[in-house]
Amino acid sequence: MSGGPLEGVRVLDLTSVVVGPVATQFLADYGADVIKVEPPEGDLLRKLGGKSPSGEMSAKFLHVNRNKRSIVLDLKRDDAREVLKRLCAEADVVVVNMRGAALERAGLSAEALRKGHPRLIHCWLAGFGQGGRYADKPAYDTIIQGSSGVSAALQRLHGTPSYSPFLMADHTVGLIAVQMILLALYRREKTGLGDAIQVPMFENMAAFMLTEHMSLQTFEPPLGPTGDPRILDPQNRPVPTKDGYICISANTDAQTFAFFDAIGRPELRTDPRFNSVAARFANVQEYFDFRYNALRERTTNEWIAIFDQHSVPAMPFHTFESLMEDPHLEDVELLQRVQHPSEGPIWNIGLPNRLESGARSDYLPPPVKGQHTNEVLAELGMPVAEIDTLTGQLRR
Amino acid sequence: MSGGPLEGVRVLDLTSVVVGPVATQFLADYGADVIKVEPPEGDLLRKLGGKSPSGEMSAKFLHVNRNKRSIVLDLKRDDAREVLKRLCAEADVVVVNMRGAALERAGLSAEALRKGHPRLIHCWLAGFGQGGRYADKPAYDTIIQGSSGVSAALQRLHGTPSYSPFLMADHTVGLIAVQMILLALYRREKTGLGDAIQVPMFENMAAFMLTEHMSLQTFEPPLGPTGDPRILDPQNRPVPTKDGYICISANTDAQTFAFFDAIGRPELRTDPRFNSVAARFANVQEYFDFRYNALRERTTNEWIAIFDQHSVPAMPFHTFESLMEDPHLEDVELLQRVQHPSEGPIWNIGLPNRLESGARSDYLPPPVKGQHTNEVLAELGMPVAEIDTLTGQLRR
């Protein structure tokens, strides 16, 4: 009885590492009963994500697996595969992220699982879409970033190609998978029928990057090169202050004039070099140099107080450490200190969004590997002796 | 009769620029009837997004406004505000992204619009969440990036803080808003009741970045510093080849040994410097230098063919130009040349995802400003004379 909008929806999560778990965590956070199926060695991210008190619960694992239950099944065994089939038959949503051939071999394709279960929603997170020549290629976040234009954008800005220093493809495509699953759940309410969904990482990230940077090549004939020049301007970055950096955005005349007032230079409102968008564009280097020098004169906090008074859009540049102590985030209680059964006190990341109808009201700590195996099997109606046989065999 | 899963859902979109339009475009792409309400001067992005044949349809505007209808209303006028109220009364979803005070003044708060319309779903995209001290501050993509840890991650990698060279906060939070709206639509099917949703950009991006980089500070006491060292490793980047760059990911022993085979050095499988994850970690600089030198010897395409044979995860680094010509994207027809009524031939970005039950079957070109004003007003049952009066007054 989680209390969220997805209360009563059961999700069988056969994914691991990041892209799948991000998707299913969103469903879990909003009330779905997410059963995470792990192999005997556990989700790779438990260790790959770094140190932890138990050695099995890395920080990254903790942050993408809350509100889920874990069951261990060794899918190389016939009896475990039989259990998985029974779990699928009772699920509303199954999420997988293997490659096509592995999916077929394991009997986990949409066709196999939806036979006799037309209400089931099958969501397949793939590296590359079926029907294209890369369909069977393996994919990782960095490979998708590098091939989808993320690294191209970073190259335009920094000179050499790099990857975004976060699992951007995994995270973004995980969010998109949630949408597709929610669309199918909504439609099922109308039609009674489930769905087979394919969410390819490469195509989704290419669509994102081309939305940003196809730019003048959108037109036929092209009106100019690819790349959004406003975004790729090297001056488009946090500006140094006396003691750190500030993020400031003063683009319109009104904002720029407020900025001139805020720094005590109201006469610049009528300076022909800076008194219009066109003038500032024509004298952009001089304008940025001026801004750069002016902001050096006070601390970030002094500037923020002044800019807030003048309604100039500005925020401090945060390091990860200062972000964790941000007073607004404390006001809204984004970070919550909770007790984890195996790891002791940890910082949980709360829900950023609000629904008037209420979100999930309970909190399940990220599960220890196989923590809910017995519980989930008992819910299937499996006799205790049979559970013992299955889990005993798994332990061997 | 769009044919997508959201067919029959009407969305009134009062947002502009990027974060809101990204959200409503997803709804439109999957079948919702999205009515984009623009002020007489039009969505700022029409011009801000760059040049276009008509001067009113920048590439970025085109890529986030397809499948929508546009109506122009001058909300400074009483009669236009009256029309807006009638449109709200017939909508399933209203999406807004003003600041709180402006929202109240315009009579567009959830409370005002949902009074007497309990089925209405109101989604408010805010810079910062209500209940926190930044609630009334203005926000832009860069300000959110700089304050939420995106720039901190880039600083860790590149030395100085910068912004991701794409509207990452706008795009990501737009995707999250879609999820919240779909959750509310799903719940409404069960309860008959709408919802009031708040989606703050800052909190959402902070949660994303802390998921990635809270790292060893997740634990109390902390087990070490913030930052995921695997992601922040400067060697974690596309590698130069004879004629470009390649993205390669060979982490496990199996992948690394396949990589050794692929480059014709199978004897390295037993080299004590490189024969295990631990050994490669201990000799990481030597390993990366070796890899760097080896990959210089052939072209990217030669390597891709070899790595595909050996099942080593690899993809070419794509520029925006080579991405637009990628053969897999051609296979799946991600980019479609379509005729735009005012801009001539343009490249439309198609839907990356597949739903077996079918997506939207028609395609509406991004609308000219106010293109559907008469049509939408007529659907409201407004007599022609009254429409003429309203639109005539608007044109003045």
Q: What is the DSSP string of B209-258?
A: HHHHH-GGGGBSS-SS-SS-HHHH-TT-S-EE-SSSEEEE---SHHHHHH
**Chain-centre distance of CA B74, in angstroms?**
28
In the listed set B316, B346, B364, which residue is the last one of a domain according to the structure?
B316
Residue B339: Cβ-neighbour burial (10 angstroms; 0-12, 13-18, 19+): exposed
* A42 pLDDT more than 80: yes
Contacts of A153 in chain B (CB under 8 A): 164-166, 320
* B395 pLDDT more than 60: no
Cα–Cα nearest to B11, from B96, B81, B73, B99: B96
Nearest CB partner across the interface for A132, out of B218, B231, B332: B332
Residue A88, in any domain of the structure: yes
The enclosing H or E element of B340 equals: strand B335-340
Q: Give the minimum alpha-carbon distance from B254 to chain A in angstroms, rounded to a whole number.
A: 13
The enclosing H or E element of B279 equals: helix B277-282
CB contact under 8 A, A182 and B187: no
Q: Which long-range contacts (CB under 8 A, 24 or more apart) does B374-379 make?
A: B375/B69, B376/B35, B376/B69, B376/B71, B376/B87, B377/B71, B377/B83
Mean pLDDT, range A278-282, rounded to an integer: 85
The DSSP output letter for B104 is H
The DSSP output letter for B101 is H
Question: First-to-last CA distance in chain A?
Answer: 35
Residue of A nearest to B320 (CA): A149
CB contact under 8 A, A247 and B151: yes
Residue B26: both structure tokens together: 């997803």
Residue of B nearest to A162 (CA): B237
**CB of B69 closer than 8 Å to CB of B105:** no
CB contact under 8 A, A166 and B198: no
Residue B219, in any domain of the structure: no
Q: Give the minimum alpha-carbon distance from B351 to chain A in angstroms, rounded to a whole number.
A: 8
Residues near A289 by beta carbon (within 8 Å), at least 6 away in sequence: none
CB contact under 8 A, B161 and A237: yes
Q: Is B301 in CB contact (< 8 Å) with chain A?
A: no
Structure confidence by residue, pLDDT tens digits, B200-256? 999 999 999 999 999 999 999 999 999 999 899 888 899 999 999 999 988 788 999
Mean pLDDT, range A377-390, rounded to an integer: 92
Residue of B nearest to A204 (CA): B352
Q: Give the minimum alpha-carbon distance from A274 to chain B in angstroms, rounded to a whole number.
A: 19
What's the pLDDT score for residue A2?
Answer: 75
The enclosing H or E element of B81 equals: helix B78-89
Cβ-count burial B279-316 (b if 16+ within 10 Å, e if not): ebeebeeebbebbeebbeebebeebbebbbebebbbbb
Mean pLDDT, range B125-135, rounded to an integer: 97
Contacts of A202 in chain B (CB under 8 A): 328
B120 confidence band (pLDDT: 50, 70, 90): very high
Name the A residues in 82-101 with CB < 8 Å from any B CB: none
CB contact under 8 A, B213 and A238: no
Q: Is B305 in CB contact (< 8 Å) with chain A?
A: no
The enclosing H or E element of B12 equals: strand B10-13
Same domain, A63 and A183: yes
What's the pLDDT score for residue B3?
Answer: 86
CB contact under 8 A, A249 and B142: yes
Same domain, A300 and A243: yes
Q: Is B193 in CB contact (< 8 Å) with chain A?
A: yes
* B342 pLDDT more than 90: yes
**CB of A315 closer than 8 Å to CB of A304:** yes
Name the B residues in 104-163 with CB < 8 Å from any A CB: 110, 128-134, 137-140, 142-158, 160-163
Q: Give the minimum alpha-carbon distance from B218 to chain A in angstroms, rounded to a whole number.
A: 5
Residue A85, in any domain of the structure: yes
Task: Quote the strand ranges of chain A, DSSP E.
Answer: 10-13, 33-38, 68-72, 93-96, 121-126, 195-200, 239-240, 245-248, 314-316, 335-340, 344-349, 354-355
Mean pLDDT, range A349-362, rounded to an integer: 93
**CB of B71 closer than 8 Å to CB of B376:** yes
Same domain, B261 and B200: no
What's the pLDDT score for residue B153?
Answer: 98
CB contact under 8 A, B328 and A202: yes
Structure confidence by residue, pLDDT tens digits, A199-252? 999 999 999 999 999 999 999 999 999 999 989 988 889 999 999 999 998 878
A396 confidence band (pLDDT: 50, 70, 90): very low
Contacts of A54 in chain B (CB under 8 A): none
Q: Is B54 in CB contact (< 8 Å) with chain A?
A: no
Query: What are the φ/ψ torsions at residue A121 (nearest 5 degrees)?
Result: -105, 120
Overall residue count recorded for chain A in this entry: 396
The domain of A303 spans 239-316
Q: What is the ipTM of this complex?
A: 0.97
Q: Which long-range contacts (CB under 8 A, 24 or more apart) does B87-90 make?
A: B87/B12, B87/B35, B87/B37, B87/B376, B87/B380, B88/B12, B88/B113, B88/B117, B88/B120, B89/B116, B89/B117, B90/B10, B90/B380
CB contact under 8 A, B329 and A160: no
CB contact under 8 A, B227 and A320: yes
Residue A98, in any domain of the structure: yes
Same domain, A186 and A62: yes
Residue B228, in any domain of the structure: no
Same domain, A109 and A54: yes
CATH of the domain at A77: 3.40.50.10540
What is the rounded CA–CA span in Å between residue B28 and residue B14?
A: 14
Q: Which of A211, A300, A307 to mutate to test the interface with B (most CBs of B within 10 A)?
A: A211
CB contact under 8 A, B353 and A176: yes
Same domain, B32 and B99: yes
Same domain, A162 and A19: yes
Residue A370: Cβ-neighbour burial (10 angstroms; 0-12, 13-18, 19+): buried
Same domain, B203 and B301: no
CB contact under 8 A, A314 and B64: no
Residue A203, in any domain of the structure: yes
Q: Which of B6, B58, B64, B214 to mutate to test the interface with A (most CBs of A within 10 A)?
A: B214
Nearest CB partner across the interface for A207, out of B224, B236, B349: B349
* B396 pLDDT more than 50: no
Q: Is B357 in CB contact (< 8 Å) with chain A?
A: yes
What's the pLDDT score for residue A393?
Answer: 55
For residue B122, what are the β-bridge partners?
B94, B196
Mean pLDDT, range B179-195, rounded to an integer: 97
Strand bridging mode A10-13 / A33-38: parallel
Nearest CB partner across the interface for B331, out of A132, A146, A236: A132
pLDDT more than 70, % of chain A:
99
B55: left (phi over 0), alpha (psi -120 to 50) or beta: left
Sheet of A245-248, strands arranged across = A239-240, A245-248, A314-316
CB contact under 8 A, B187 and A5: yes
Q: Is B277 in CB contact (< 8 Å) with chain A?
A: no
Contacts of B145 in chain A (CB under 8 A): 247
pLDDT more than 90, % of chain B:
87
B298 confidence band (pLDDT: 50, 70, 90): very high
Residue A255: both structure tokens together: 């904002």
Residue located via tokens 């959110």: B144
Same domain, B17 and B148: yes
Q: Which of A95, A172, A218, A324 to mutate to test the interface with B (most CBs of B within 10 A)?
A: A218
Residue A219, in any domain of the structure: no
SS3 B158: helix
Same domain, A133 and A20: yes
Provide the residue type at B206 as one letter.
Answer: A
Averaged pLDDT score across all residues of chain A: 95
Query: What single string gives the DSSP state of each residue in A232-261?
Result: H-TT-S-EE-SSSEEEE---SHHHHHHHHH
Q: How many structural domains compose chain A?
A: 2
Mean pLDDT, range B180-193, rounded to an integer: 97
CATH of the domain at B279: 3.30.1540.10
Task: Quote the strand ranges of A21-112, DSSP E.
Answer: 33-38, 68-72, 93-96
Residue B223, in any domain of the structure: no
Q: Give the minimum alpha-carbon distance from A285 to chain B in angstroms, rounded to a whole number.
A: 18
**Chain-centre distance of CA A257, in angstroms?**
37
Same domain, B275 and B167: no
* B394 pLDDT more than 70: no
Nearest CB partner across the interface for B211, out of A63, A130, A183: A63
A39: left (phi over 0), alpha (psi -120 to 50) or beta: beta
Residue of B nearest to A312 (CA): B138
A394 confidence band (pLDDT: 50, 70, 90): low
For residue B314, what are the β-bridge partners?
B248
Residues near A347 by beta carbon (within 8 Å), at least 6 away in sequence: A324, A335, A336, A337, A338, B214, B217, B218, B219, B220
What is the rounded CA–CA span in Å between residue B50 and residue A215?
A: 8
Contacts of B167 in chain A (CB under 8 A): 212, 231
Residue of A nearest to B177 (CA): A353
Residue of A nearest to B143 (CA): A247
Residue of A nearest to B139 (CA): A313
Same domain, A59 and A89: yes
CB contact under 8 A, A165 and B132: no
The enclosing H or E element of A78 equals: helix A78-90
Nearest CB partner across the interface for B314, out of A143, A207, A220: A143
Other CB atoms within a 10 A radius of the CB of residue A341 amount to 12
What's the pLDDT score for residue A112?
Answer: 96
B393 confidence band (pLDDT: 50, 70, 90): low
Provide the residue type at A142 as one letter.
Answer: T
Task: Quote the strand ranges of A82-120, DSSP E.
Answer: 93-96
Residue of A nearest to B184 (CA): A5
> Count of CB contacts below 8 A, A vs B?
464
Query: What are the φ/ψ torsions at residue B241 (nearest 5 degrees)?
Result: -115, -170
Residue located via tokens 């099922």: A188
Nearest CB partner across the interface for A220, out of B190, B337, B350: B337
